Amino acid sequence: MINILLSGDRPRSILLSVILLVILVALALAPFLFPGVRSLETAARICIFIVLVASYDLLLGYTGIVSFAHTMFFGLGAYGVALASIHMGRGFDALVVGSALGALAAAVLAFAIGLFSLRVRAIFFAMITLAVASAVAVLVSQMSELTGGEDGLNYLVPRELTPAFRFGEAFGIKLNGRLLAYYLVFASCLLLFLVLLRVVNSPFGRVLKAIRENDFRAEAIGFRVVAYRTMATCLSAAVAALAGSIFAIWLRYVGPDTTLSFSIMLDILLMVVIGGMGTMYGAVIGATLFVLAQNYLQTLMGSASDATSALPLIPDLLSPDRWLLWLGVLFILSVYFFPTGIVGRLRGVR
């Protein structure tokens, strides 16, 4: 049963299995184990980023393509839900239509970009996605009559998903729509993750790995490398858009900063590399660690900065605003010394 669910791709390390199990249980019971608004926000964010990072790993880790447009696809999904909710009115049908259209738009756009760049050489893809993503981000912030510009969009999701909808109490926790919304997020993220796991362990995923290892040889064996790369790009874009839709349903707000900014792209890159490229489980660990660190470590850095305020330069280096600096250093070091990430390390210890 578990084997089928995991598509035969077991964690292959006892410690890794334990960690994954802890994360799964913690996320599944988050509203009861860690009551409070902030921890629920964190848990939902972790769920969504696991899917987003896993879909990116399909590109980076499995196919060996670097894309800088992943937040663009993420944003497309989010804006899809937002626009559908505004124009179709509050309701579940709007959420479904918005998510579907967002995913479709992302896949089409990914196909167009792939057509231009993957045909020639994979390295074009990194540069072209960077250019297109920045153009889209500018467009979204400029076309304010449609997208709300820099302010973003606020909209209503179905009443069943809002805190105002109450239906009793269990284990001392008030059961309300927010709880339902969390479980919607959790369930759809789990489903998407298992689907991705299925994809990478299918014959299709095997071809992708072959392309990553040696595209010339893969072509020689008879696989059409461009077609496979483009398909992987479209699939990854569609899943990223769905993750964006879930994010939009959870937040009830979309804006360029929360969905499209380059810093989110960097976050995704870091999560993939730290967790471990080329394993879906790396996405789980990377996203969990990173989101937790983002939420709680910055507070720690603030106090460290205050504690060293008498010294020169050090408080500046430790201030919470410079958190990206340390991430960058960590990023470089992990690419050098742990190219397989945490998961690779754990599997190596075995």
Partner 1 sequence: MSDAPDHSPTLAALSISDRLGQAMPYILVPLLVVLGFFAIGSSSSWLTLTVSGLAMGMMIFLMASGLTLVFGLMDIINFGHGAFISVGAFVGISVLFALGDWTAATSLSLNLIAVLLAIVAAMVVTGILGWGFERVIVRPVYGQHLHQILVTVGGLIVIEQMIHVIWGPHEIFLTRPETLKGAITYWGAALEKYRLLAVVLGLIVFVAMRLVLRRTKIGLIVRAGVQNGEMVQALGYRLKLVFVGVFIAGSALAGLGGVMWGLYQEVITAGMGEEMMILVFIVVIIGGLGSVEGAFIGALLVGLTQNYIAFLAPKLALISNIGLMAVILMWRPQGMMPVVKAK
Picking from 227, 244, 232, 238, the residue whose alpha carbon sits closest to that of residue 104 is 238
124 binds partner 1 (CB under 8 A): yes
- When binding is defined by CB under 8 A, the residue of 134, 154, 258, 261 that contacts partner 1 is 134
Mark 43-82 with x for binding to partner 1 (rule: CB under 8 A) and - for no binding.
Answer: -----------------x---x-x----------------
Query: Least distance from C-beta 40 to partner 1, angstroms?
Result: 30
Q: Which residue, 90 or 322, is less far from partner 1 as judged by CB?
A: 322
Query: Least distance from C-beta 172 to partner 1, angstroms?
Result: 44
Query: Least distance from C-beta 250 to partner 1, angstroms?
Result: 28
Q: In whole angstroms, give the CA distance from residue 213 to residue 17.
A: 27
Q: In whole angstroms, give the CA distance from residue 48 to residue 271.
A: 13
122 binds partner 1 (CB under 8 A): yes
Q: In whole angstroms, give the CA distance from residue 229 to residue 212.
A: 10
> Which stretch in 4-12, 40-48, 132-140, 231-239 sits in contact with partner 1 by CB under 8 A?
132-140
**Cβ–Cβ < 8 Å for 81, 95:** yes
Query: Please, which of residues 154-213 interact with partner 1 by CB under 8 A?
Result: none
**Cβ–Cβ < 8 Å for 64, 211:** yes
Determine phi and psi for 312, rounding to 5 degrees: -80, 150
Mark 280-319 with x for binding to partner 1 (rule: CB under 8 A) and - for no binding.
Answer: ---------------------------------x--xx--
118 binds partner 1 (CB under 8 A): no
266 binds partner 1 (CB under 8 A): yes
Query: Least distance from C-beta 335 to partner 1, angstroms?
Result: 5
Query: Please, which of residues 97-116 interact with partner 1 by CB under 8 A?
Result: 116
214 binds partner 1 (CB under 8 A): no
Q: Which residue, 171 or 336, is less far from partner 1 as judged by CB?
A: 336
328 binds partner 1 (CB under 8 A): yes
17 binds partner 1 (CB under 8 A): no
Instruction: Tell me the sheet residues that pair with 173.
Output: 170
Q: Which residue, 130 or 156, is less far from partner 1 as judged by CB?
A: 130
- Contact residues toward partner 1 (CB under 8 A) are 60, 64, 66, 116-117, 119-120, 122-124, 126-128, 130-132, 134-135, 138-139, 142, 262, 266, 269, 273, 313, 316-317, 321-322, 324-325, 327-329, 331-332, 335-336, 339
